[in-house]
Amino acid sequence: MTSGSVWIITIGVLVGVLLLDLLLAIKRRDQETSTKEAGLWTIFYVSAAIVFGWTLGGWENPQARSEFFAGWLTEYSLSIDNVFVFIIILARLKISKEKAQLVLLIGIILALILRGAFIAAGAALIHRFVAIFFLFGAFLLYTAWHLAKDEDETNDWQESRMIKSLAARGATPFTVALVAVGTTDLLFALDSIPAIFGLTKDPYIVFTANAFALMGLRQLYFLLGDFLNRLVYLSKGLAIILGFIGVKLIIEALHGIGIHDIGPLKIPEISLTVSLGVIIASLAVTSLISLTRPVKKSKVEE
């Protein structure tokens, strides 16, 4: 169990980094973020996550390190998929790249706060009702099926009634975009929070993995840009990951309620090592296939 002092220090450091990022975004709100700047920030956040995860195994326990990396990789890959939708939102609302950085950063801060509440609620439910994993697992399997069959992600985002209402009442495009990014990321949390609870039940690891994944979203938006269109099979990799975790959650729920065998068949226990291997292999293979498929590249260029 993580102590209160560790939580306070972690949140304090997180708030400090986000405030620095926010101040820089406000100061440079009329300037477009360069690829070099986005790349340096991305390296900083990824390096910070790796260092944090590695040291976590020293002052927590060795398994915490593996749980963090499995959770962070899952959340980070889902976050990259989020960037696809952010690009569509900001393009449709005609937000300039100069203003986009502030929209994304404020939206991410709001999402972190709301996800914190989601994580606390999820941890409480899991502690009291282990059978909730059946619901989480079924939802992830449904999401995986949806991702696997989806052929065109450009239609994934539609303006909600709230967004249309804000626009009709004369809200500025900046305000509308801010609400759209924040609410969209919150919807993505419905997938990511159950997914990471399938890898670890430690609320501290769940929160920090989400924080490190979310904090680099703004930089990924500017760094990857149109390059994301080449990752045409990323959603398939995510479908494999979510489907796998969905099955893992259902298996854990069965063990949790005392069902260890189905007839003559013993229900297996899926180790964290296997989970980490599936996540890495799914992302590596689907990314490699995407980047080496010239037909898809020519379609984007057209």
pLDDT band, very low/low/confident/very high, at 29 (cuts 50, 70, 90): low
DSSP assignments along the chain, one per residue: ---HHHHHHHHHHHHHHHHHHHHHHHHTTTSPPPHHHHHHHHHHHHHHHHHHHHHHHHHT-HHHHHHHHHHHHHHHHHHHHHHHHHHHHHHHTT--HHHHHHHHHHHHHHHHHHHHHHHHHHHHHHHH-TTHHHHHHHHHHHHHHHHHH---GGGS----HHHHHHHHTT--HHHHHHHHHHHHHHHHHHHHHHHHHTT---HHHHHHHHHHHHHTHHHHHHHHGGGGGG-TTHHHHHHHHHHHHHHHHHHHHHHHTT--EETTEEPP---HHHHHHHHHHHHHHHHHHHHT-HHHHHHHH-
To the nearest whole number, what is the mean pLDDT of the chain? 77
Per-residue pLDDT tens for 31-84?
777 778 778 888 888 898 899 988 886 766 778 888 899 889 888 888 777 777
Is the model's pLDDT at 185 over the cut of 60?
yes
pLDDT digits (tens, 9 = 90+) for 247-281: 888 888 887 777 777 778 888 888 878 888 888 89
> Taking 50 as the threshold, does the pLDDT of residue 154 lie above it?
no
In the structure, what pLDDT confidence band is assigned to residue 151 with cuts at 50, 70 and 90? low
Residue 184 belongs to what domain range? 4-301
Judge whether residue 125 has pLDDT over 60.
yes
What per-residue confidence (pLDDT) applies to 299? 41
**Contact assessment for residue 296 and residue 230, using Cβ atoms and an 8 Å cutoff:** yes
**For residue 160, what pLDDT is reported?**
61
Greater pLDDT, 299 or 194: 194
pLDDT surpasses 60 at 197 = yes
Tokens of 202: 């430690």
* pLDDT reading at 92 higher than 80: no
What's the pTM value of the predicted model, to 2 decimals?
0.74
- What's residue 301's pLDDT? 43
pLDDT of residue 110: 77
Identify the pLDDT of residue 297: 45
Across the strands, what pairs with 150?
A: none
Q: Report how many domains make up the chain.
A: 1
Per-residue pLDDT band at 283 (split at 50, 70, 90): confident
Residue 163, pLDDT above cutoff 70? no
Angstrom distance (rounded) from CA 263 to CA 276: 29
- Quick check: 232 pLDDT over 80? no
Q: Residue 225 — left, alpha, or beta (φ > 0 → left; ψ -120 to 50 → alpha)? A: left
* Alpha-carbon dihedral sign for residues 51, 192, 102, 98: positive
**Which is higher by pLDDT, 245 or 169?**
245
pLDDT of residue 57: 66
Q: Residue 158: its pLDDT value, please?
A: 56
